[in-house]
Structure 1
Amino acid sequence: MRELLSLRAYARHRNVRLSAVQKAIANNRISTVPDEKGRAKIDPAVADIQWAQNTNPLQQERGSLKDFERTQADLPGASQLPLAGEKTGVQTSVLSEEKAETENVRRQLLEIQLAKQRGELVRVEDISRALANKLKAAQEHLNTVADRLAPILAAETDVSKVDEMLRSEIRRAMTQIALEAPHVTQ
């Protein structure tokens, strides 16, 4: 009787990953034989023949390191690229820059959180709402100028007095708006 191999041993025999052997078994491309304890074992002579007959050679090479190296060799300037696993100063400096940038962003986020906790930041929506309310109040104050002055101005014939009354009433409305505005302390 021939020596039966475990799935791992057969993967080493074929120089493939264990997952490739497991997929071949799952897809019925190779068969297994139970040993005396009922564990799945592989007859390498039979499985090699089944593997050759039932496996698409293009599928087998897809994703292989040989295929990758062949593709990379066709690229312009590929001879100047480092080999797999080879470290370069460029890679190290890029990694250092990325780490520094990440730390900078993390620091900025912490500063924002701290400013929020201190009450130094205000939400844009809150400011927009407050501004809209103030503009509406300003519009109402300015609209009341016409209501207050219309009867007085209708009787006035002196242009300079009309001008003075208008300016005075507008100043009064603007002062009222300014008094109602929230005070910003620095």
Structure 2
Amino acid sequence: MPNLITPAAYSRHRGCSREAVSQAIEAGRISTIPGENGRKMIDPEVADIQWKRNTDPKQSERANASKRKNEPAGGGDQAGSEYWEIKTRREKAEAIMAELKAEELAGSLVSIERVRTASMRMSRMLRDALLAIPPKVSPTLATETDPHTIELALSDALRRALEDIAGMTANDLEKLAE
């Protein structure tokens, strides 16, 4: 689900005036999404793309020329936009990290190391269960001559071993990951 913000928050995100955002919405240069109570909300990622694609850079430069007169030398448009791009990337990364931390605390996210450890231990248990079948069934099968009886005995032994593994609970798997 997109992270929706108000037009005022989007103006702060862009580093421009609220009027500029309002004009962009009215002109159809950026789209809004109806939020709670019918308020206009903006997906900042989509709006950034639309803003860049639908705004004439020369007109924007003319409109902001008076503001740039007060900028210090060497602090031109490119340095400012680079700053905002870096800041935006950092904010997105922090938001992603916060979401991942929340999912981890809620128990819906686990570390890859725990999954690898549990997977390796589960594979070893399956291997050991399957390799334990021949010593268990060989005394009975040594005297059998009927292929159908041998097949049934082997199938039964395999089924029991696999059902034991499949019957493991979430708590059993948690113990494997530790």
TM-score (norm: length of structure 1) = 0.47
Pick the structure with greater CA Rg: 1
Q: What is the TM-score of this pair, normalised by structure 2? A: 0.49
Structure with the bigger RCO (C-alpha within 8 Å, sep 6+) is 2
